Amino acid sequence: MKGAIFFSGKYGSTKQYAEWIGDATGFPVFDIKDPQANPSQYDFLILGSSIVYYKLTIRKWARTNLDILKDKSKILFSVSGAGPSDKLNRWVAASFPTELMPQVKHIALRGRLDHSKLGWGLRQILWVASLLNRDPDSSKDERYGFDYMDKSSIDPIVQMVDQYKSNENASAT
């Protein structure tokens, strides 16, 4: 089995999860911005994407590579402030290509937001969003930032890969 991880993120948390998963599975890790990132060479893909303004940031790349991604085994992990919930599932389903959605197993991971890394304009947008947000926890996260990074949250992904590898070994013998 030839597997690889392709991720899309800006501030480092999606990359960090991709690297942890890479260490645990032995799969190479590619930033989708890297011109060498070619999913066609692999038969098992782990796609990682941050969520920005309720959308997966990997969505355009996924659409561009639709024909390659179709019919390969895939896991999608999202990285967001919001935790696993119906709301998050709806954001993912609405921004991932419809054709691929039934083919992926989605795992929701929680990321990090460090206001000191954001520009002034973005901080203002998040401040206004926090004033309008009716959910007190999520409003606080928007206003002050958060760090929900948790290495153990990749365990279900690593288990799925191990399962896939052992199924493959069983069918080869």
Ligand X SMILES: Cc1cc2nc3c(=O)[nH]c(=O)nc-3n(C[C@H](O)[C@H](O)[C@H](O)COP(=O)(O)O)c2cc1C
Residue 52 CB, nearest distance to ligand X (Å)?
Answer: 4
CA distance 137 to 126: 14
Nearer to ligand X among residue 53 and residue 120 (C-beta): 53
Residue 108 CB, nearest distance to ligand X (Å)?
Answer: 9
Neighbours of 103 (CB within 10 A): 14
CA distance 42 to 27: 10
Residue nearest to ligand X (CB): 111
Neighbours of 11 (CB within 10 A): 16
Residue 84 CB, nearest distance to ligand X (Å)?
Answer: 11
Nearer to ligand X among residue 15 and residue 73 (C-beta): 15
Nearer to ligand X among residue 39 and residue 81 (C-beta): 81
Nearer to ligand X among residue 3 and residue 81 (C-beta): 81
Interacting residue ranges for ligand X, rule: CB under 6 A: 9-14, 50-54, 79-82, 111-113, 122
Give yes or no for a contact between 151 and 109, defined as CB atoms under 8 angstroms apart.
no
Residue 43 CB, nearest distance to ligand X (Å)?
Answer: 26
CA distance 145 to 121: 15
Give yes or no for a contact between 141 and 113, defined as CB atoms under 8 angstroms apart.
yes
